Every structure is written in C-alpha cells, then in structure tokens.
Amino acid sequence: VLKLYYAPRTCALASHIALEKSGGEYVAERVDFNSNGQRTPEYLRLNPKGRVPALATGRGVLTENPAILLYIAQSFPKSKLAPLDDPFALAQAQAFNSYMCSTVHIASAHRGRGYRWADDEQAIASMKRKVKQNMIDCFTLVENEMLRGPWVMGDAFSICDPYLFTMSGFLEGHGIDVNLFPKVAAQMSAMQADPAVQRVLTVQLS
Amino acid sequence: VLKLYYAPRTCALASHIALEKSGGEYVAERVDFNSNGQRTPEYLRLNPKGRVPALATGRGVLTENPAILLYIAQSFPKSKLAPLDDPFALAQAQAFNSYMCSTVHIASAHRGRGYRWADDEQAIASMKRKVKQNMIDCFTLVENEMLRGPWVMGDAFSICDPYLFTMSGFLEGHGIDVNLFPKVAAQMSAMQADPAVQRVLTVQLS
C-alpha cells in the first residue's frame, strides 16, 4: 500500500490531497519537522534529500510533487486527475506544476529557508524583504495567464489544483490577501469546500 | 512544425537536445538575451514568463523543461526517450527532472541571477559565495543516489540525460571540476560524443 510521508504546513499537502482524491488506498505518515525528523538516519535512507513529500511504493520511493502527482494520476486513472490521453494537455499540467515547484515554492522558501542560499544574517533578512513582491508577481501571472477557472486546467479538477491550493495557502503567511487574485481566491474556496480536502486538513492539522 | 525558442548557455539546451534525439521535425529559434529579447512584447505574448525554453506547437506554447521533455517523449514514442508504459519509472524520471529544475538550476541561478531574490548588492554577493558548495552538494546527491549509469535511468538514454548534461555544463562556471563526480563525468563525456548533441551545440554556439 502506498505510504505518503508528510509534514503539516509543507508542500506535501499537494500530494496528500491528490491521494485522497484518487480513491486509492494509502496511509499518511507524519514526519516531525520540530524534532528534525526529516534528518534522522532512518528517514534519510528512505529519502536522501531529507524533504517531504516522499511516497513509498512497492517498487521504491518517489519524491518531488510534480512526479508524485503524475504517478497518482496514472496509478488511479478512473479518478481522472490528469489528461492522460492528451500529451499536449498533460504537458500543460506538468508545466503548471513545474512552475509551482521551481518558481512559486522557491520564491516562498526565501522567507523561511533563506539559509539554503546564503550564510549571513543580513543577506537572509534581505531575501525575506523581497518575498512578498515575488509572490505577488507569481500569483499575478497565475491569475492572468495560467488559471483558466474554475479549476486550473478549466472545467476539470486535476493534479494542478491541490498544488495551487497548497501554494495559495502560503500567501497569508507572507501578508498577502488572496482576494487580490479573484480566480485564485475562488479556486481556494472551492478546494476548501471539498470534503476530501477537509479530511486531509483534519489529519494534517490534528 | 514544432518551434523551440532557446538562448545559448541556458537550460533550453536540455529541450533542444531532446528534440534532436527525438528524430522529430522542429526548428530552433534563438532569443537574443544580450538585447533582452526575452522581454520584448512579441516574446512576452508567446511566453509571459519571459524565459526560455518555450516550445510553440500547433495547439499552443509549452514552457518548463520537465513538461517540454515529457511532451517530446510522448510526441515521438519511437525514439523511446522515456519509459512511457511504466508509471513508476516515468515518475522516477520526472522526479529527477524536477530536482534539476527546482533544486540544481535554482542553486546555480543564485550566482548570476541573485537579483531575483534580493535587491541589495551585499545580499547578492553573499548568495554568490554559497553557490559553489550548494552545487557540490547537489551533484554529490546526483552521483551517489540518482545517476545509475551509464545513463541517468540506467542502460537506456532518456529525457533525464540532456537535462543532467545541461546542468553539468554549468559546473565549470562555478569553478567545480566535474571529475569530482566520476559517474557524472562519464555521462557528460558520453553526451559530448553523441553526434546529435554535437549538432545542437554547433547550432547554439555558432
């Protein structure tokens, strides 16, 4: 059975919601970031990156949201979480998720994890000051150029939606009102109204 | 016909090599970064991100290497550039490419494009100082945990190989000898010996 390693308030929420929406069997195991659980020898054997999400499968461990999300969609095709029969539409979905991980999440991470990219406190403080504007720039692009509405890919819910919802959830912590972006805000509300999303949030935040 | 927008010495090399290896018909159009060609109104209409690569198709424009690479593999299945019939193996390939874009390329970009994440010169200089160690850490993980050899995914060349080759090509600019990583160095040599790779480099560097 699939086992998702997650920590609350991290990007692992995207893969967790997709698993819940897939209808597939899985278990979710919390990694305790407060005690640096992602750096224990046991966890590093599982995922040498020392990050979440990680998805343990019968054939090995997968990492990286864009890969895990595609794997969930392909493993549970009846849930129609991705346009698997249309390479162009699938590439659009992958491009969206790639933007989430390599631009939006990275922009956000410069607030709390600046130590990854600089050692001195002044530089880390300087990075923090730019995060809000960078996130606004990212979400302006999402609002104007990417999100079709009501879901990211249009009428059909897809693996892009849990990932956008996860990134939108970071906005408040950056002091940004999601209502600056009406389509993003509507997608966020629709996600919050989804019982599957509510079940995952209950588990993660309990 | 597919049209790839690229600039020399950028990550667009990955998609360019994959197209050349695919056997498919395409044209490559250079975007002149020296004159800020990626910021012209014409280019921004095509790709509002103002980046390369971008792949114009009959149905629209695709961006982001991990998405374009998968699209190339799916569009030209005879070239066997990805394990399309094996969702787990495909997810492993996508996880590798996701790591290239969201961790390795980002680590590298803090040397020349630190202005994306901070405004003041001292912070940008501080980021630059950390890039070499971050790149060494990334390639240590690639060498020890990811690259199976001789190709990234093992015996079969895949869409992961042009992407790794592109990132390995950044090492010298960071003052890092690729021979610190024997498997990465061997993959790089094998890529350099490939006539398809040579054709692409001739076009890009002419």
Q: What is the pLDDT of residues A82-134, one digit of tens each?
A: 999 999 999 999 999 999 999 999 999 999 999 999 999 999 999 999 999 99
Structure tokens that stand for A203 in this block = 């588990």
Buried b (16+ CB within 10 A) or exposed e, A30-56: bbeeeeebbeeeebeebbebbbbbbbb
Look up residue A32 and give its amino acid: D
For residue B179, what pLDDT is reported?
98
Q: What is the pLDDT of residues A176-196, one digit of tens each?
A: 999 999 999 999 999 999 999
Q: Cβ contact (<8 Å) for B88 and A120?
A: no
Q: Cβ contact (<8 Å) for B90 and A99?
A: no
**Which residues have CB under 8 Å from B5's CB, separation 6+?**
B12, B29, B31, B43, B46, B47, B52, B53, B54, B55, B56
> Min CA distance, A6 vs chain B (Å)?
17
Q: What is the pLDDT of residues A19-28, one digit of tens each?
A: 999 999 999 9
Phi/psi of residue B75, nearest 5 degrees:
-75, -25
Q: How far apart are CA A53 and CA A32, in angstroms?
A: 13
What confidence category does residue B28 fall into, taking pLDDT thresholds of 50, 70 and 90?
A: very high
Which chain B residues are within 8 Å of A71, Cβ to Cβ? 87-88, 90-91
**pTM of the entire predicted model:** 0.98
Q: What is the ipTM of this complex?
A: 0.98
Which chain A residues are within 8 Å of B67, Cβ to Cβ? 91-92, 94-95, 98
> Cα separations (Å) of B156 from A194, B147, B162?
42, 12, 13
> Cα separations (Å) of A2 from A75, B63, B94, B139?
11, 31, 18, 29
Q: Cβ contact (<8 Å) for B66 and A130?
A: no
Q: How far apart are CA B86 and CA A57, in angstroms?
A: 14
**Which residues have CB under 8 Å from A158's CB, separation 6+?**
A73, A81, A82, A83, A93, A151, A152
**Do A129 and A123 contact (CB within 8 A), yes or no?**
no
What confidence category does residue B178 fall into, taking pLDDT thresholds of 50, 70 and 90?
A: very high
Mean pLDDT calculated for residue range B167-195: 98
**Do B80 and B23 contact (CB within 8 A), yes or no?**
no
**Is the CA virtual torsion A171, A141, A11, A153 positive or negative?**
positive
Q: Is B59 helix (H, G, I), strand (E, B) or coil?
A: coil
Q: Is A62 helix (H, G, I), strand (E, B) or coil?
A: strand
Q: How would DSSP label each residue in A128-182?
A: HHHHHHHHHHHHHHIIIII--SSBTTBSS--THHHHHHHHHTTTGGGT--GGGSH
C-alpha B46, offset from chain centre: 20
Residues 146-205 of B with CB under 8 A from A: none
Q: pLDDT averaged over chain A?
A: 98
Phi/psi of residue B86, nearest 5 degrees:
-135, 95
Which chain A residues are within 8 Å of B105, Cβ to Cβ? 102
For residue A106, what pLDDT is reported?
98
Identify the DSSP state of B154: B
What confidence category does residue B23 fall into, taking pLDDT thresholds of 50, 70 and 90?
A: very high
> Min CA distance, B101 vs chain A (Å)?
6
Nearest to B146 by CA among B104, B84, B198: B104
| Residue of A100, A126, A130 best to disrupt the B interface, most CBs of B under 10 A | A126
Q: Is the bond preceding B162 in cis, omega lying within 30 degrees of 0?
A: no
CB pairs under 8 A between A and B: 142
Q: Cβ contact (<8 Å) for A94 and B92?
A: no
Q: Is B2 helix (H, G, I), strand (E, B) or coil?
A: strand
Nearest C-alpha in A relative to B60: A88
What confidence category does residue B197 fall into, taking pLDDT thresholds of 50, 70 and 90?
A: very high
Buried b (16+ CB within 10 A) or exposed e, B159-174: bbbbbbbbbbbbbeeb
Which chain A residues are within 8 Å of B107, Cβ to Cβ? 117
Which chain A residues are within 8 Å of B92, Cβ to Cβ? 60, 62, 67
**Is the CA virtual torsion A49, A51, A55, A56 positive or negative?**
positive
Residues 34-93 of A with CB under 8 A from B: 48-49, 57, 59-60, 62-68, 70-71, 74-75, 87-88, 90-92
What confidence category does residue B196 fall into, taking pLDDT thresholds of 50, 70 and 90?
A: very high
